Amino acid sequence: MRAGVLALQGDVPEHLRALADVVPAHDLVAVRGPGDLAEVGALFLPGGESTTIVRLLQQNGLWHPLGERLRAGLPVLATCAGLIVLARALAPGPSGTDPPTLEFLDVTVRRNDYGAQRESFEAAVRVEGLAGAPFPGVFIRAPRILEVGAAARPIAWWGEQVVGIRQGSVWGLTFHPELSPDRRLHRLFLESAAGAPTPRGTRRPRSPR
Ligand code: GLN
């Protein structure tokens, strides 16, 4: 399965470097247009500036195709600004004008909600399905998940605060797994993506051994 990183703005090189540890180079795609998107079986949405990413998605003809692939079941791991782009609703917050979103993930988030003096911090995150030590969560001007609707469920916590959710094969994280050396989350997501039903609802054949 080919894995793509949306490569319009943000921490794209960091995601590609992290993925290079877990995916063969020939299966990695930098997604810049609809043709690239059509090639991938899983997609990473990087952190960055959601207003810019939304504008570039629209300018590059990716806004509607991405919405369609999401609805068809494409596994996506969205980090930080990526989560904002997919959220059903944004609560007004300190950032002023919020971008339109793809309104896919059943969550309400508020941008930049951890406050200016804590623009960037690291915290131990508990992630469902990750054995061993907590995950080192890197938070950079992170959005806060305020509400998780019925279609989504929490999968990551910093103390009591939900910092990651999942809706079917789409994961949304407010922290940046690509910025820590720990690759467990990239692996876990790709394993689950490989087992996700294809858009036609059929499972990929398993190899006999
Ligand atoms: N604050 C950014 C936004 O609102 C997100 C920050 C990030 O992706 N690290 O888009």
Tokens of 103: 């309104």
Active-site residue identified among 80, 128, 147, 186: 80
11 φ/ψ angles, rounded to the nearest 5 degrees: -85, 60
| Strands laid side by side in the 161-167 sheet | 28-31, 3-6, 42-45, 76-79, 170-173, 161-167, 153-158, 120-127, 135-140
Place of tokens 């990087």: 46
In order along its 209 residues, the chain shows pLDDT tens digits of: 999 999 999 999 999 999 999 999 999 999 999 999 999 999 999 999 999 999 999 999 999 999 999 999 999 999 999 999 999 999 997 767 899 999 999 999 999 998 876 678 999 999 999 989 999 999 999 999 999 999 999 999 999 999 999 999 999 999 999 999 999 999 999 999 998 765 543 344 444 44
Mutation pick for ligand 1 pocket among 90, 97, 112 (CB with most ligand atoms within 8 Å): 112
- In ligand 1, which atom is closest to the CA atom of 112? 1
| Token pair listed for 75 | 């596994």
In angstroms, rounded to a whole number, what is the distance separating the alpha carbons of residues 54 and 57? Answer: 5
**Nearest-CA residue for atom 5 of ligand 1:** 81
Catalytic entry in 26, 119, 160, 178: 178
pTM score, whole prediction: 0.92
178 is catalytic: yes
Task: For 61-112, write each residue's pLDDT tens digit.
Answer: 999 999 999 999 999 999 999 999 999 999 997 767 899 999 999 999 999 9
Which has the closest alpha carbon to 80: 184, 177, 188, 160? Answer: 177
Instruction: Tell how far the Cα of 50 is from the centroid of ligand 1, in angstroms.
Output: 6
Q: Is 47 in the pocket of ligand 1 (CB under 6 A)?
A: yes
> What distance in Å separates the CA atoms of residue 78 and residue 175, rounded to the nearest whole number?
10
| Domain range 3-193, CATH class | alpha beta
Helix (H, G, I), strand (E, B) or coil at 195: coil
User: Which of 141, 163, 175 best tests ligand 1's pocket when mutated (most atoms within 8 Å of CB)?
Assistant: 141
Dig out the tokens for 111 from the structure: 């941008």
In sequence order, what are the residues at sequence separation of 6 or more whose Cβ sits closer than 8 angstroms to the Cβ of residue 108? Answer: 87, 88, 89, 90, 91, 145, 146, 147, 149
- Residues 135-144 pLDDT 10s: 999 999 999 9
Which positions ≥6 away from 181 have C-beta within 8 Å? Answer: none
Sequence ranges of the domains in the chain: 3-193
